[in-house]
Amino acid sequence: MNHAQRNRLLSAAAHIGALLPLARMLFDLVTARYGPDPIREFTLRTGRTAITLLLLSLACTPAVRLSGFKPLLRLRRPLGLYSFFYAAVHFLIFVGVDYAFDFALIRAALLEKRYALVGLTTFLVLAVLAVTSTRGWKRRLGKNWKRLHRLAYAAGVLAVVHFIWLVKPGVMRPWYYAAVLGGLLLARFPFAKQRARASGDE
């Protein structure tokens, strides 16, 4: 297998993996395979998928530092865009299905429920990153493009906080995401980068 074929295979695997949760949700929706509260169930499922894909996108760079497998860098953008897609579906379920586009109720929810306000902020950050992810915007923004896209880490923090505040106390799953995000943030420190490079040289 040559370099181009390997890259295509890796890209195809990423796209298929990112779309599988959507296919599963659509299948469960059509066949009525969901619990007594389908709105909450699909809200949680789309939200978890968005966070998972965002963390995978953030993990690409440290994974390359550790493994030296540079084709992984090509996955950062598509994984980030899929994360935004699921976040958008998550948001639409909230405003369109749960609140039926009743903006008075939505406004009240944002003011009364802290997880809703943090969730909206996360979605807006991801939307900005998605819109500016193109080559055209990269040329327009120049050096500021990289600074702007560091907000992906802020989106990760906000998404995890949103998840923690959304679920009942004692539910551990959001804390697993928090631990992964903490490791990815730690990997950004200079000493972690140096250790990763040293490991790759050995």
Identify whether the C-beta of residue 30 lies closer than 8 Å to the C-beta of residue 66.
no
Look up residue 85 and give its two tokens. 């897609």
CA distances to 4, 58, 120, 136, 201 from 155, rounded to whole Å, are: 32, 11, 11, 23, 32
What the block records as the tokens of 41 is: 């169930």
The answer to whether 79 and 53 are in contact (CB under 8 A) is yes
With contact defined as beta carbons under 8 Å apart, do 92 and 100 qualify?
A: no
Instruction: Kindly indicate the confidence band of residue 4, based on its pLDDT and cuts at 50, 70 and 90.
Output: confident
- pLDDT of 193 > 60? The answer is no
The DSSP symbol for 94 reads I
Q: How far is the C-alpha of 153 from the C-alpha of 166, rounded, in Å?
A: 20
Distances (CA, A) of 57 to 28, 37, 42: 27, 31, 22
Mean pLDDT across the stretch 188-193?
Answer: 61
Structure tokens at 129: 């990153």
What is the average pLDDT value for the chain, to the nearest integer?
Answer: 91
The DSSP 8-state label assigned to residue 172 in this structure reads -
State the pTM of this model.
0.91
Per-residue model confidence as pLDDT tens digits over 16-43: 999 999 999 999 999 999 889 999 999 9
